[in-house]
Amino acid sequence: MNSLSTRKILLVDDNPSILEMVKAELCLRAGILPENINLASSGNSAIALIIRSGDIFDLIVSDFNMPDGNGKELLEFVIQQNSKAYFILFTATLDIQIPTTGPNFLGVIEKHLLSALTSRILKTFL
């Protein structure tokens, strides 16, 4: 097993199809074990999961535009918590304003570039 397979990942999107597609891609191309990938359907549900789990995530990949807590709010929470998790915004909307970023913010990737997301994750952890 490579070191990436045991990384804890949190995927956040209000579209269940996107969550499943990204999860399948990360398992297939990056070798991440399915049980190490957690899913959340909103920024607020992701925040609750982070609090409940004790901030165990190595990486958070989040959509930007979501009801019930958007990606910007989630990013701000992660920075405020001094989390060590890397953070990627994976969104269809590139015209977004992100006023604060932390040292672990890896940037914004367009949703149609799923292979770019996987490549970024591989470069970060390998």
Q: Is 68 left (phi over 0), alpha (psi -120 to 50) or beta?
A: left
Res 1: pLDDT: 43
Domain assignment present for 126: no
Say yes or no to pLDDT of 121 above 50: yes
CATH number at residue 80: 3.40.50.2300
Please count the helices (runs of H) and the strands (runs of E) in the chain.
Answer: 4, 5
Mean pLDDT to the nearest integer, 40-68: 95
Domain assignment present for 75: yes
Domain assignment present for 112: yes
Beta-strand pair 59-62/86-91: parallel
Provide the residue range defining the domain that includes 77: 3-119
Q: How confident is the model at residue 100 (pLDDT cuts 50, 70, 90)?
A: low
* Number of folded domains that form the chain: 1
Domain assignment present for 124: no
